[in-house]
Amino acid sequence: MTGSIDNSAAGGSPSPLANTYTRFPATLVRGEGCRVWDDKGREYLDFAAGIAVCSLGHCNPAVTEAITRQAKTLVHVSNLYWTLPQIEVARLLIEKSFADRVFFCNSGAEAVEGALKLARHYGHDRHGPDCYEVISLEGSFHGRTLATVAATGQTVYQCGFEPMPAGFLHVPINNIDALEMAASPRTAAILIEPIQGEGGVRPISDEYLSAAREICDRLDALLIFDEVQVGMGRTGTLFAYEQTPVVPDVVCLAKALGNGFPIGAMMAREEVMSHLPPGSHASTFGGNPVACAAAKVVLETLTSPGFLDEVMEKGHYMGKGLGSLAKRYPETVLEARGRGLIQAIEFRKPVPDLGNRLMDRGFLALLTQQKILRMVPPLIVTETEIDSLLAALEEIIPTYE
């Protein structure tokens, strides 16, 4: 596909938009629950959910209600004043996690950027100016700002933007020896996605996470979990770290936190967060009242009795279905993997047209690395809806043999 769009509703050709995305040939105009519609009235079952964002479904009535109500009350004031929705969301996050302080921002990259700045300030305060290195993993994705691109362990995102900011080391995933080798008194933090999302739904092993925790404890460095994609109930627990043997020092959140209304958060215990003193970091829109009104409903819903148990069950159901497909087509499918409702099947060969072919059949799903189909449906997806995607895959997969 080229950057030109054959869709007049997208602004005609040439498109007035920066050509930074390879877009699907559709203009989406409306959403409800797990479904979206394009400008031609075609319906799609959404297993992309705005990239793991619309977890409570498109235009969730309670979220929309909260946004509307807040928009009639107070849309924005500076963070130089207190606002109630922000404090309420922070209290909910604290109540359900190891953390007791929250910094609000607007996006995933900004949450990770904040964590990186916290790590540098912590390193400098505790160990002096030579303690600034951040170790992250190959295949990781942490955002598109210069620092988060430098932390990202995929050269494709860095190419053409060099020189990268200094102080970022990358090590292969699940290789404890390599991590030990990279760690030193210069290490301010180890940054990990507990399951790599953009990297192709790759879980980091419990042993590796325990080793990272132990190294951080030994060096008095920060263990940062980037849960921008896998936090907020995606894996079947509110935070992905809850299913690992470790507790991190810092967690980054965004994507599903506002169910589509932009909001990010970075949280830590007070003895860590206090290393960002007044004036050291800020965000004009961060924790905006309207965004926090949305996030409050999201957190209340995710933590309501039984909600996450259902996510876990549906995740098992979907994983079993994909696993069975992988078993029946071993020549085409390398493996199925996932946790909760972040699931993937990896093909043996590139299947670059798979996204478009699924779209032709009325499904949205994401292809990463040309051969990994990543499925992150709204967490309210039903087993019937999962079945219909499995049926479509059952028809498509044999055509790649």
Ligand X SMILES: *Cc1c(COP(=O)(O)O)cnc(C)c1O
Q: What residue ranges bind ligand X (CB under 6 A)?
A: 107-109, 112, 141-143, 193, 197-198, 226, 228-229, 254-255
Q: What sign does the dihedral 92-268-228-217 (CA atoms) show?
A: negative
Virtual CA dihedral for 140, 142, 148, 149, nearest 10 degrees? 50
Residue among 112, 91, 115 nearest 272 (CA):
115
Q: How far apart are CA 179 and CA 122, in angstroms?
A: 21
The distance of closest approach from Cβ of residue 284 to ligand X in the complex, given in angstroms and rounded to an integer, is 16
Report, in Å, the least distance between residue 240 CB and ligand X: 10
Q: How far is the CB of 53 from ligand X (least distance, A)?
A: 9
CB of 196 to ligand X, least distance (A): 8
Q: What residue number has its CB nearest to ligand X?
A: 108
In this complex, which beta carbon is closest to ligand X, that of residue 108 or of residue 319? 108
3 state SS of 376: coil
Considering the complex, state which of residue 236 and residue 321 has its C-beta at the smaller distance from ligand X. 236
Closer to ligand X by Cβ: residue 33 or 108: 108
Residue 301 CB, nearest distance to ligand X (Å)?
21
The residues that bridge with 244 in the sheet, in sequence order, are none
Name the residue nearer to ligand X (CB basis): 109 or 292: 109
User: Which tokens in the block code for residue 92?
Assistant: 């909910």
Task: List the one residue out of 151, 148, 111, 119 whose CA is nearest residue 135.
Answer: 151
d(CA 347, CA 350): 7
Q: How far is the CB of 224 from ligand X (least distance, A)?
A: 11
Question: Which two three-digit tokens encode residue 89?
Answer: 């969301």
Q: What is the DSSP string of 225-289?
A: EE-TTTTTTTTSSSSGGGGSS---SEEEE-GGGGTTS--EEEEE-HHHHTTS-TTS---SSTT-H
User: Secondary structure of the chain: what % helix, strand, coil (to 5)?
Assistant: 40, 20, 45
Q: CB 376 → ligand X: shortest distance, Å?
A: 10
Nearest to ligand X of 171, 397 (CB atom): 171
Which residue's CB is nearer to ligand X, number 322 or number 366?
366
Nearer Cβ to ligand X, position 85 or 108? 108
